Structure 1
Amino acid sequence: LTAAGIHPPAVVRGDWSADSGYAAGRELASATAVFCANDQMALGLLRAVSESGRRVPEDVSVIGFDDVPEAANYRPPLTTIRQDFTALAQRAVSALVDAIEGMPEAEGAAVIPTDLLERASTAESVR
């Protein structure tokens, strides 16, 4: 998780679970915005923020990553970044096949497009 509103901005490591997001949320009590590495961590963070008496998005904006099917049903609905898992998997399999067949590595990293889905967990000033 990366948090703004703290100087310097804080980076808190988690394990991709809602529990680690919750722990990070308790640690980032004064943050004004948090970008979570996945939506599960954002779910835990939302709980920690709520329990601390702060409000999302009025006091802290929260953004997740992955757009899990439940993200639109979190409270509040989670702003998140959707990635194309099919394209990601195709690229990974292609790279693996190339490596197995002894093909030289492709130059540069593959860019898989993403989409920002703006929902109610971010304040207007963040959008």
Structure 2
Amino acid sequence: AAAGAPEPPLPVEGDWSPASGYAAGRQLAGLSDVTAVFAANDDMAIGALRAFAEAGLSVPGDVSVVGFDDIPAAAYLSPPLTTVRQDFTAVADRAVDVLIAMIEGGPAPAERTDIPVELTVRASSGPVREPAPPLR
């Protein structure tokens, strides 16, 4: 919105599985104005990659795909998946702190803790494609 780009309609929902990413990717592949997809996790991004390939769309030539988690397989996909790496140790530590507080009946830790993330750029993302020239 800050850049003046139109906001997309509501997100396509999934259940964190590659199958739901595939279903969402099939839906998105039918939309001519989709140039990028940010999936909720890498598994859903993997499903979307397959859906775009089956639809004849090039990643990242036609559409960029970015996941979240940086699972070990992300670097070995074709194309290797751009993803957001999170500190799973910090996530686990936070979850244990909350669980212990719940079990002991003590005060819950602060509701929000910022856990650092890092964008890992690989070959599944690139610049927005050029629009097709008008037909004459």
Instruction: Give the TM-score band, short-chain normalised.
Output: 0.7 to 0.9
Query: 2:45 is matched by which residue type in structure 1?
Result: A
TM-score, structure 2 as length reference: 0.82
Structure with bigger strand share is 1
- What does residue 92 of structure 1 align with? 95
Q: What's the CA shift for 1:18? A: 1.0
Is residue 101–residue 109 contact of structure 2 (8 Å, CA) maintained in 1? no
- Of residues 38, 44, 48 in structure 1, which corresponds to 2:47? 44
- Of residues 28, 47, 62 in structure 2, which corresponds to 1:59? 62
Structure 1 alignment gaps of length 5 or more: none
**Distance across 2 between alignment mates of 1:88 and 1:64:** 17
**Distance across 2 between alignment mates of 1:106 and 1:94:** 7
- Number of residue pairs matched by the alignment: 121
Q: What's the CA shift for 1:7? A: 5.7
User: Is 1:103 matched up with 2:127?
Assistant: no
Q: What's the CA shift for 1:17? A: 1.2
- What does residue 15 of structure 1 align with? 15
Larger radius of gyration: 2
Change (3 A) 1:7 1:109: closer
- What does residue 131 of structure 2 align with? none
Q: What's the CA shift for 1:65? A: 0.6
Q: What's the CA shift for 1:108? A: 3.8
**Distance across 1 between alignment mates of 2:15 and 2:35:** 22
**SS at 2:24's partner residue?**
helix
Q: Compare 18-27 and 102-111 and name the one that shifted more.
A: 102-111
- What does residue 78 of structure 2 align with? 75
TM-score, structure 1 as length reference: 0.87
Query: 2:51 is matched by which residue type in structure 1?
Result: A
Is residue 97–residue 109 contact of structure 2 (8 Å, CA) maintained in 1? no
Query: 2:93 is matched by which residue type in structure 1?
Result: Q
Change (3 A) 1:89 1:7: closer
- Give the RMSD, CA atoms, in angstroms: 1.7
Structure 2 alignment gaps of length 5 or more: 129-136
